[in-house]
Each structure stands twice: as structure tokens, then as C-alpha cells.
Structure 1
């Protein structure tokens, strides 16, 4: 069986394609903000679950004034000098 292409069939097909395209565009413009809000909320919840321990530790620390210097760990004082390395010579640039 052979079918003949008609002008009306072609116009109808183009019209259906255009209606689907513009309908999708309008629906996407309406539902995109809702979808993005939902996705961002889910990402925020997941991020909060992964890094929730860090935030709770940070809240437990007392608040400090801006610019205040705090030393959490003192450096070790028992450093030994290695005298067997050699002699120290100052560097001088020669022109």
C-alpha cells in the first residue's frame, strides 16, 4: 500500500509539532521555578546531613570578637639544633 502525501497532512503535522513545542515551552516556564526550588531544597537537606557534624561543632565553640588571635596548640619547645649539618654561609650576589 502506498500513501500519498497531501498538503493538508503536512500542515497538520507542522501545526501539531508547533503546538507541542510552544505548549512545552509555556509549561516549562510555569513549572521550572517550582522544580528548581524543590531540587535546591533537597540539595540543601543532603548537604546539611553530610556536614551537620561540622556545623554542630562550630556552634559549640564560643563566639570570638573579630580580630582576636587564638592559639589552639602551642608548638613543641624541645627542638634540637643539628650542628653536624655544616657551616652557614651568607649569600651575596656578584655582579
Structure 2
């Protein structure tokens, strides 16, 4: 059975502090590079999606030049409101 010692506690605290400062130093060096690459990749994905959607919409308009579709389902049926109850105005009695 092993016993905890004061010197072992001091070593553990020193390792934790050293690891913290090394991690902080490396993060300060490499984190901006990683964030920059992530932002660039997200921008490329966004541009690719925009280009894809523009290409698809352009192809749809070229194919459907003779056909016009009007959705009249919402025009015929106006939005119905639900009536829950009557409005009652209360007055304070002194």
C-alpha cells in the first residue's frame, strides 16, 4: 500500500502548473493559425453552396421558361383566426 507524501503533492502541483503554462504558450502560437484555417474553409464551403444554388436556380429558370405556376391555395383561404373567448374589460371598485 502506498502512502501520499508531501513531496509527491508538490510534484503534482508543479506538473499541473507546468502543463498549464505550456498549453497556454502553445495555444497562443497555434490557435490563430487553426482559427484562420477554419474560417477560410467555412468561407469556401459557403461560396461553394452559393454557387451550387445559383447554378440550380439558373437551370430551373432555363428549363421552365414556358411554364408559369401560381400558387393560389393561400389566396383562396385567408388565414383564419381562432377565437378563444370574449374580451372582458374590468374596472377597479374602490
- TM-score (normalizing by structure 2): 0.53
SS at match of 1:23: helix
Which whole-Å CA distance do the structure 2 matches of 1:51 and 1:4 have between them?
64
Q: What is the correspondence of 1:67-86 to structure 2 with a 5 Å cutoff? A: none
- Kindly name which structure, 1 or 2, has the bigger radius of gyration based on alpha carbons: 1
More helix by share: 2
Please report how far the alpha carbon of residue 33 of structure 1 lies from its aligned counterpart in structure 2 after TM superposition.
0.7
Gap runs ≥5 in structure 2: 58-94
Which whole-Å CA distance do the structure 2 matches of 1:11 and 1:42 have between them?
44
Please report how far the alpha carbon of residue 52 of structure 1 lies from its aligned counterpart in structure 2 after TM superposition.
1.6
**In angstroms, what is the RMSD of aligned CA positions?**
1.9
SS at match of 1:12: helix
**How many residue pairs are counted as aligned between the two chains?**
55
Q: Write the deviation string for residues 19-74 of structure 1: whole angstroms up to 9, x where unpaired.
A: 1111111111111110011000100100000002549x9xxxxxxxxxxxxxxxxx
Establish whether residue 11 from structure 1 lines up as the match of residue 6 from structure 2. Answer: no
Q: Provide the residue aligned with 1:29 in structure 2.
A: 28
SS at match of 1:51: helix
Gap runs ≥5 in structure 1: 58-95
- TM-score (normalizing by structure 1): 0.53
Which whole-Å CA distance do the structure 1 matches of 2:34 and 2:11 have between them?
33
Which whole-Å CA distance do the structure 2 matches of 1:4 and 1:36 have between them?
45
Q: Which stretches of structure 1, 4 residues or more, deviate above 3 A after TM superposition?
A: none
